[in-house]
């Protein structure tokens, strides 16, 4: 902004110098009016506007990755906590020689560990419908069902007891969970990931989301290794570990 302050020395000089006045004055007389300093105003040029826009674009380019990292902090934290729980449960089942499982409650976004007193087996495939596990019950046994096998499975489920405290996701939620014995990814209800006494577990992919971003926990069945991927990938996908 160009600022000019001059004392006017006559009407001839006044009218010879056109000015745009940024301040108005009351009618206090010419002597007082033209004795005051004048502020000359002008607009921004296209070059100046372009420079300002370029600076703003540069600042946004720097700020957006940092903002994205901040918004994903809760998702990354919860993925780390869940990964630690999975590795700990794998070790406990192998060292203590008993079957354990991680219960994922997709409706309440919570999870907890359960273990049996000894070694137990599970069915190769679990019945499901519309992304939810079907609960077998004695009332649903028909004449064509193997009643003894169904009852055995029901009794087996009763032998698991909670181990430790229940954890609830904070800043994240379960998008879905796929475990090897499931016929499809589950989006509601409960999903079970089993850990066996021989040092094996099930292939699994657990997806966490904050509403925009996704993290995937991939579980290896032979080693129990848990890989965290900053994206939504399938259980059989090979992605670099973070």
- CATH code for the domain of 214: 3.55.40.10
For residues 103 and 179, the answer to whether their CB atoms sit within 8 Å is no
Q: Is the residue at 188 inside a domain?
A: yes
Note whether 168 and 103 are within 8 A (CB): no
| Predicted local distance difference test score (pLDDT) of residue 151 | 52
Tally the C-alpha atoms within 13 A of residue 187's C-alpha that lie toward its C-beta.
Answer: 5
Quote the pTM value. 0.63
Tell whether 84 and 50 lie within a shared domain: no
Residue 59 and residue 85 in one domain: no
Alpha-carbon distances, residue 113 vs 10, 153, 157, 177 (angstroms): 94, 19, 13, 16
Q: What is the pLDDT of residue 40?
A: 52
**Containing domain of residue 183, as a range?**
76-229
142 is a domain residue: yes
Contact status, residue 242 vs residue 228, Cβ threshold 8 Å: yes
Q: Report d(CA 197, CA 73) in Å as an integer.
A: 35
CA 64 to chain CA centroid, nearest Å: 16
174 located within any domain: yes
Q: Are residues 209 and 105 in the same domain?
A: yes
Tally the domains of the chain.
Answer: 2
d(CA 213, CA 67): 13
Predicted confidence at residue 242, as pLDDT, reads: 42
Q: Does one domain contain both 50 and 157?
A: no
What pLDDT does residue 4 have?
40
pLDDT of residue 149: 56
In order along its 242 residues, the chain shows pLDDT tens digits of: 333 444 444 444 444 455 544 444 444 554 444 555 555 556 678 887 888 888 887 776 765 555 555 557 889 999 999 999 999 999 999 998 999 999 999 999 999 999 998 888 777 777 777 777 776 543 333 444 555 555 555 555 558 899 989 999 998 999 999 999 999 999 999 999 999 998 899 999 999 999 999 999 999 998 999 999 999 998 865 444 44
> How high is the pLDDT of residue 21?
46
241 located within any domain: no
The tokens describing 145, both together, are: 């069902």
Q: What is residue 219's predicted lDDT score, i.e. its pLDDT?
A: 96
> Of 27, 42, 70, which closes a domain?
70
Q: Is residue 207 part of a domain?
A: yes
* In a shared domain, residues 108 and 157: yes
């Amino acid at each position: 902004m160009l600022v000019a302050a001059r004392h006017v020395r006559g009407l001839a000089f006044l009218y010879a110098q056109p000015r745009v006045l940024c301040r108005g004055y009351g009618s206090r007389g010419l002597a007082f009016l033209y004795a005051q300093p004048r502020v000359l105003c002008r607009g921004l040029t296209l070059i100046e506007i372009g420079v300002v826009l370029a600076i703003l674009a540069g600042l946004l380019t720097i700020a957006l990755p940092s903002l994205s990292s901040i918004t994903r902090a809760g998702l990354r934290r919860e993925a780390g906590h869940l990964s630690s729980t999975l590795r700990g449960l794998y070790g406990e089942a192998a060292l203590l020689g008993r079957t354990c499982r991680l219960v994922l409650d997709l409706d309440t976004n919570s999870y907890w560990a359960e273990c049996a007193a000894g070694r137990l087996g599970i069915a190769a495939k679990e019945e499901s419908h519309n992304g939810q596990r079907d609960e077998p019950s004695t009332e649903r046994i028909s004449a064509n069902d193997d009643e003894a096998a169904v009852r055995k499975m029901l009794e087996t489920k009763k032998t698991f007891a909670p181990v430790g405290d229940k954890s609830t996701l904070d800043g994240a939620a379960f998008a879905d969970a796929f475990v090897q014995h499931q016929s499809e990814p589950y989006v509601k209800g409960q999903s079970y990931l089993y850990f066996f006494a021989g040092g094996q577990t099930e292939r699994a992919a657990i997806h966490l989301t904050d509403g925009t971003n996704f993290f995937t926990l991939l579980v290896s069945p032979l080693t129990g290794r848990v890989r965290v991927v900053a994206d939504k990938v399938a259980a059989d996908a090979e992605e670099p570990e973070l």
